[in-house]
Amino acid sequence: MTSPETSVADALLVIRRELDTLVDRVLTESAAGAAPNPLEAVADLIASADRVFVVGAGRSGLALRMTAMRLMHLGLDVHVVGEVTTPAITAGDVLLTASGSGTTGAIVRAAETAAGAEARIAVITTVSDSPLAALATAVVVVPAAEKRDRSGAASAQYAGSLFEQIVVLLGDALFHALWKRSGASADDLWPRHANLE
């Protein structure tokens, strides 16, 4: 079965429309949702954390690694779960997670461990009543397709692509908000950029 050719420009327009729509929905639903706004609640958790741990699998995990890097640029003590230098999580720490389904075994187990250690948990997911969301201190529900949804109803893109893209955008938005709150200049952050490249 063949399909009509799609140019890269056409594909970019599809992605742009989906992202624009999803950002509007996340903002609208967050503003109308539980108080405090879940996006602000996640920012507050990160800002008040002794240390921030990030965990995700696959492309969601890669998106969170990008967020970890930016939080490190702010001067936060940040760890990527699974790296050999990651210490034990404890009370006062925050675990930032992303899982479209909210059922990814390793992510749920990490959140259970964090909860057992009395750390706070921030979750980005598509499923508000998932096992991962049930463990959360703050939940951002993203109305996107999760990776097993191949219906095309929530997104024309493959699998969880739209969710993973919004995880990148939410991470950058969290960084930007926390950076502006900090009062630090871009020059203040620059010395933390990698120099062993």
Choosing among 3.10.20.590, 3.40.50.10490, 3.40.1080.10, 3.40.50.300, the CATH entry for 11-183 is: 3.40.50.10490
40 noted as active-site residue: no
Whole-angstrom Cα distance, residue 135 to residue 94? 12
Which pLDDT value is given to residue 90? 98
pLDDT digits 0-9 by tens, 121-159: 999 999 999 999 999 999 999 988 766 766 666 777 777
Q: Which of 18, 112, 118, 164 is catalytic?
A: 164
**pLDDT at residue 42 greater than cutoff 70:** yes
List residues bridging with 95 in a β-sheet.
53, 121
Q: Is 79 left (phi over 0), alpha (psi -120 to 50) or beta?
A: beta
Which pLDDT value is given to residue 22? 85
Domain ranges for the chain, please list them.
Answer: 11-183
pLDDT digits 0-9 by tens, 158-188: 778 888 999 999 999 999 999 999 999 999 9
Task: Name the pairing type of β-strands 94-98 and 120-125.
Answer: parallel
Q: How confident is the model at residue 1 (pLDDT cuts 50, 70, 90)?
A: very low
pLDDT digits 0-9 by tens, 52-87: 999 999 999 999 999 999 999 999 999 999 999 999
Q: What is the DSSP letter of 129?
A: T
Residue in the block written with tokens 């640029």 = 73
Whole-angstrom Cα distance, residue 145 to residue 22? 11
CA angle 14, 96, 49 (to 5 degrees): 135
Which pLDDT value is given to residue 26? 84
